[in-house]
Structure 1
Amino acid sequence: MAGHMTPEEFRRYGKQVVDWIADYQEKVESYPVQSQVRPGEVLASLPAGPPEEGEGFEAVLADLDRVVMPGITHWQHPSFFAYFPANASGPAILGELLSAGLGVQGMLWATSPACTELETRMLDWLAELLGLPARFRSDGDGGGVIQDSASDAVLIALLAALHRRDGGAAAREGITRRHTLYVSSQTHSSLEKAARVTGIGAANVRVVDVDPDTLAMDPAHLDALITEDIAAGAVPVLACATVGTTSTTAVDPVREIGEVCSRHGVWLHVDAAYAGVAAVCPEFRWVNDGLDGHVDSYATNPHKWLLTNFDCTALWVADRAPLVGALSILPEYLRNRASASGEVIDYRDWQISLGRRFRALKLWAVIRWYGAEGLRAHIRSGVRLAAELASRIGADPGFALLEHHPFGLVCFRPRWEGLPDDEADAATLRVMERLNASGDLYLTHTRVGGRVLLRMAIGAPGTGDAHVEAAWRRIREETAREGRPAGQ
C-alpha cells in the first residue's frame, strides 16, 4: 500500500516533472496544433474504475505520454492562432508550482496574510503598469482582486451593481421588478449568462446597436433604450462596454457610454479581457480612454496576453463598498479579530466562492522576471506580426481584410469568385476545417455583416515571423485547393 509521498520522493519525481515540462516546451512544435483524437478515444484508454492499490508516480508519467498527450490541443504551440492566446511562461509555471506547494487557502487575511497582501500589491503594480486611473488603487475607495476569468468578473460586477441600485433588496428578497442590462451584439456571451445566474433573465438583456463599420456600441441608442426602459417601469442596472471584443477586437466608446450611464445611475463595467494588457505599452494607453470618468469596474486578463498562465483575471472597482456589501456573509466560524478590526481585506468578500488560491504568486513571478520592459516587448512582438500579416492579406486581391487590427488579431476571408455568399462562406469554413485537421495550425472563425471571416490571433511566446509566414502560405494553399479566389 502506497503511503504519503516523502520529501525525498517528491524531489525525485518533481525533478522529473520539471524536466518533462521543459522537454515539452522544447519540442512543442513537433505536435499537431489541434488534437487529432476522435470523441471518446481518451476515455476508452482509461480504466473504467480506480486502482485498488497505489501504482506509483512512474505509471502516472508513462500514461501522461500514452493517454493524455494525444488528447491535448497545444495552446502554447507557436502556430496556435485560434481564440486568444493563453500564455504560460516559465516564471508563471514556477509561481503556480510554489502556490500549489504552499497549499494556501486564502479566503481570509488571517488564513495567510501574505496571500492577501501580495495580491493587493500586485493589483496595484498592474494598475501602475497599465496606467489605470488612481481611483482603482487599493489606497483609496477602490481596489483590485484576482478572479478566475472575465466571466466571473462581470458576474461579480453585476452583483455589486444590483446592490448599489437597490441597497441590497434583491439579495434579501429576490428580484421583484424587471431589471435590465445593456450590451451590444459584439459583447461577450458571459453577460447573458450573468443575467441568467442572477435571476435578471436573458430576456432582460438589451442589445444596443453598433456602428456598421467599426462594430462599436452606439451611445445614443444606449441612451434611448435606457430611457425607454425607465419609462416602462424597469430598473436599469449595468451596461458593459468592451475594449477589444472577442469577435474582431472592436472598441466601444467608453467615455461617451460612461456619460450616458452616469446620467441614468447605471453601473458601467468595462470588459478589456484581451486587449487591456496592451496598455503596458505607452503607445497603447489609448485603450484606457474614458476610464478616468464614469467607469465603476474594469477587468483584463493577464492569462491571455501577459505571460501569466490561466487562471488570472484582474478586476478593479472604483468603490469597493457595493462589492463587499453584495458578497459578504459572515458565519460565526469565519469571525476573527483581524477581520473585525476593519484593518484588513478579506478577499472572500470580493468573489463568489469562499475559497481562493494563492494566484498572486505567479503574477509576482512574471512581473519580476520580465519587468515592464519585457512585458512591453512581448506585446509589441504580437502587434508587429499581426500588422505584417494584415499587410500581406491586404495586398492580395484574392482575400478581403477586415481593416481593424490594432492588436494581435487579424480577420479576413477569401474572395470566392462567382459564388453566392452562403456558398462562399461554406467554402471558407471547409478551408479552415482542413487546415485545423492537418495539425499545421489552428484557426477559428467569426461572422461580420453576415459573412464568415477567419480569425488569426497572434501572441504565443514562441510565435515568430517564420510561423506566421508558414501559416499564411498554408492558408493560401488550402484556399487554392478549394477553388481559386478572385485575383489568383
Structure 2
Amino acid sequence: MTPEEFRRYGRQVVDWIADYQEKIESYPVLSRARPGEVLASLPAHPPERGEGFEAVLADLDRVVMPGITHWQHPGFFAYFPANASGPAILGDLLSAGLGVQGMLWATSPACTELETRTIDWLAELLDLPARFRGDGAGGGVIQDSASGAALVAILAALHRADGGTAGREGITRRHTLYISSQTHSSLEKAAKVAGIGSANVRVVDSGPGTLAMAPAHLDALLAEDAAAGAVPVLVCATVGTTSTTAVDPVPEIGEVCARHGVWLHVDAAYAGVAAVCPELRWVNDGLDGHVDSYSTNPHKWLLTNFDCNALWVADRAPLVGALSILPEYLRNQATSSGEVIDYRDWQISLGRRFRALKLWSVIRWYGAEGLREHVRTGVRLARDLASWVAADPGFELLEHPPFGLVCFRPRWDGLPDGEADAATMRLMERLNASGDLYLTHTKAGGRVLLRMAIGAPATGDAHVAAAWRRIREEAAEQAAERADPGR
C-alpha cells in the first residue's frame, strides 16, 4: 500500500468510524449472530492474490458488523463500560502508524519517557500517594489489563517473599494468596499461572451486608498458614468489585498485612478512576499506608479504549527483580548505565506497544475538568436510577457505593427464592432480546440480581429513563403471564 493509497483508504476508514459513532443507536445492542454464523460467512482459505481494501470495507459491513455487540451503544449496561473516545482512537492510530516496539528505552526513548510522564499525570489526577510516582523508589507502568497487573504484582510479591528463590529454583514450599469471595477471578487464574496453585488461594470471609473483606478473618488465616509452614505471598483488596462494586476496608487490611509482612495489592480496576473527582477520593483511603501495588483501568471508565491498565508499585525493586532477564541481544549502553527505565522488566512479555499515546491524547483533549464531568455524569445517572428503583414497590434495590452500577431485581411476590431467581434470569433474557439494552446479572446474598452499569460516553438521561421504563414494562408483562398462563 503506497502512502497515497493509505491516505485514500485511511480517510474512508476514519469516515466509517465517524459514521458508526453517529448511527450506533440504530443497531441492536447485543449481537444476534448465531454460533458459527460469522465463521460460515468467511472463506475457508486465504486469497491467493491480494484484494483491494474496498473488499475489506464491504465485508466489514456484510460479515463483521452483524457479529458485533456494541459496547459504545447508549443502551449498553452490561459488565462495566469499555469506553472509547475520539482522542483515544486517534492516539491508537498514531501508535499503530509509528509501529514502535518499546521493549527497551533504547528502542524508542519517547515511548518510555512519554509513558513515565503520562502515568505520573494520571497519578496526580487521581491524587495517589507520592511514593507511587516515578521520581522515587516506586512508579507506574501501563499494562494490558487488571488481570495482567495482578499477575505481575503476584510475581513481585513472590520475589520479595522468598528472596528470588522461586524465580531461580521454582516453588518448593507451599505459598498462599488471599482474596475474598468477591475478588475478581483473575486472581485465582494468576495464582495458577504463577505456580502458587488455586488450592492455595485462601478465601477470606466477606461481611454479610457490605460484601467487604473481613480483616479479622484475614488476620486469623495469615497466622494459621504461617504456623503451618506456608509462605503468605499476597493479599488482594478490591475497591469496586465486579459483582456489586463492594469496597474492601483497605486501611484495616493494610494494618493486618503490615503485621504479617505480606504484600498488599489493591485492585481498583473499575472504580479507581473515580478519584479524578475530589468528592470521590475516599476510594483512595488506605493507599498512603501499607499498600505495595495499586491498579486501575482507564479503559473502563476514563474514555481510553481497550487495552490500557495503570499499575503502580511503591517499590519497583521486587518487580524488576522478579521479571528482569537480560540476554546478550538486549544489552545496550543506556540500559547498562542504569539511567533509564526499561519497561520490559515491568511486565510479562518482552514486546510492548506505545499505549501511552492514547492515554496522553485523552488527558490532553479532555483535561481534568472533562474527565471529571464524564465520571460525574455516570454517577448522577446511576443515582437517578437507584432512586427510581427504591421508590417502586415492585422492585428491591441493593444498596451500593455511589459509582455507576445499580443492582436490583423485581420482588416476584409469592415465588420462593429459586423460582424468583429463575424469573429474574428470564426477565434479563427478554430485555436483552429486545435490542434496546443489554444487562448482565450477579448473585449477592443468595439471590440473583440484575446489574445495570452506566458509563458509555453516549448514554444520557433519556437512555437511562427509557431502559427503566422497558424494565418495568417487561417485568409487569412477565408477572401477568405467570398469573394467567393462557394469555
Q: TM-score, normalised by structure 2?
A: 0.98
Aligned match of 2:365: 369
Selected match of 1:348 from 340, 344, 353:
344
Determine which of 75, 79, 91 is the counterpart of 2:75. Answer: 79
Instruction: Quote the sequence identity (%).
Output: 86
How do 1:29-428 and structure 2 match up within 5 A? 29-428=25-424
CA apart distance, 1:438: 1.4
* Residue 11 of structure 2 is aligned to residue 15 of structure 1: yes
Superposed displacement of residue 322, structure 1: 0.2
Q: For residues 133-181 of structure 1, what are the alpha-carbon distances to aligned partners after superposition, in whole Å with 9 as ceiling and x for unaligned?
A: 0000000000000000000000000000000011110011111110000
What is the distance in 1 between the residues matched to 2:409 and 2:316? 45
Shift of 1:263: 0.7
What is the aligned-residue RMSD (CA, Å)?
0.9
User: Deviations for 1:248-293, whole angstroms, at most 9, x for unmatched residues?
Assistant: 0000000100010011110000000000000000000100000000
1:391 and 1:450 map into 2 onto residues whose CA distance is 23
Equivalent-residue separation in structure 2 for 1:185 and 1:378 (angstroms): 31
For residues 316 and 355 of structure 1, what CA distance do their matches in structure 2 show?
A: 19
Q: Mind listing any 5+ residue stretches in structure 2 that lack a counterpart? A: 483-487
Q: CA deviation at 1:485?
A: 11
d(CA) in 1 for partners of 2:426, 2:470 = 14
CA distance in 1, matches of 2:281, 2:418: 40
Q: What amino acid maps onto 1:372 in structure 2?
A: A
Structure 2 distance, partners of 1:156, 1:403, is 33
Which residue of 457, 463, 468 corresponds with 1:467?
463
Partners in 2 of 1:189 and 1:17 — Cα distance?
37
Letter of the structure 1 residue corresponding to residue 274 of structure 2:
A
- The residue type paired with residue 182 of structure 1 is Y
Following TM superposition, by how much is the alpha carbon of 1:481 offset from its aligned partner in structure 2, in angstroms? 1.6
Q: Distance in 2 between matches of 1:114 and 1:485?
A: 63
Q: Which amino acid is the alignment partner of residue 413 of structure 1?
A: R
- Are residues 485 and 194 of structure 1, via their aligned partners in 2, closer, same or farther at CA, if it must alter by over 3 Å? farther
Measured in 1, the distance between the counterparts of 2:260 and 2:306 equals 36
Matched residue SS, 1:183: strand
Distance in 2, matches of 1:484 and 1:132, equals: 52
Q: CA deviation at 1:484?
A: 5.2
Task: Give, as a single letter, the amino acid of the residue that structure 2 aligns with 1:114.
Answer: A
Counterpart contact for 1:87–1:303, Cα < 8 Å? yes
One-letter identity of the residue aligned with 2:299? H
What amino acid maps onto 1:426 in structure 2? A
**What is the SS of the residue equivalent to 2:17?**
helix
**Partner of 2:311: helix, strand, or coil?**
strand
- 1:422-461, aligned counterparts within 5 Å? 422-461=418-457
Q: Structure 2: which amino acid aligns with 1:70?
A: P
Match of 2:22 in 1: 26
Contact 1:399–1:414 under 8 Å retained in 2:
yes
Match of 1:337, as an amino acid?
Answer: Q
Quick one: structure 1 residues 57 and 346, their matched pair in 2 at CA, closer, same or farther if it must change by over 3 Å?
Answer: same
Could you tell me which amino acid in structure 2 is paired with residue 445 of structure 1?
Answer: H
The gaps in structure 1 that reach 5 residues or longer are none
SS of equivalent to 1:442: coil
Number of matched residues?
A: 482
Q: Assess if the C-alpha contact under 8 Å between 1:417 and 1:485 holds in 2.
A: no
CA distance in 2, matches of 1:437, 1:40: 19
Structure 1 runs (4+) deviating above 6 angstroms are none
Distance 1:342 1:16 in 2: 46
Q: Secondary structure at the match of 1:146?
A: strand
1:170 and 1:34 map into 2 onto residues whose CA distance is 45
Q: Which residue identity is paired with 1:86? A: A
2:104 is aligned with what amino acid? L
Amino acid at match of 1:234: A
1:428-483 CA distance string (max 9 Å, x none): 00010111111110000000011000000000001000000010011111111211
Mark the CA change 1:295 to 1:274 in structure 2 (over 3 Å): closer, same or farther: same
Deviations 1:65-93 (A, max 9, x none): 00000000000000000000000000000
Q: Distance in 2 between matches of 1:473 and 1:422?
A: 26
SS in 2 for 1:483: helix
Q: Secondary structure at the residue paired with 2:264?
A: strand
Q: For residue 243 of structure 2, what is the amino acid of its counterpart?
A: S
In structure 2, distance between residues paired with 1:320 and 1:8: 46
1:64 match: secondary structure? helix
**Cα pair 1:414 1:485 within 8 Å, conserved:** no
Counterpart amino acid of 1:415?
Answer: R
Deviations 1:23-62 (A, max 9, x none): 0000000000000010000000000010000011000000
Give, in angstroms, the shift of residue 405 of structure 1. Answer: 3.7
Letter aligned with residue 330 of structure 1: L
CA distance in 1, matches of 2:259, 2:166: 23
- Whichever residue aligns with residue 411 of structure 1, its letter is C
Distance in structure 2 (CA, Å) of the matches to 1:167 and 1:340 = 23
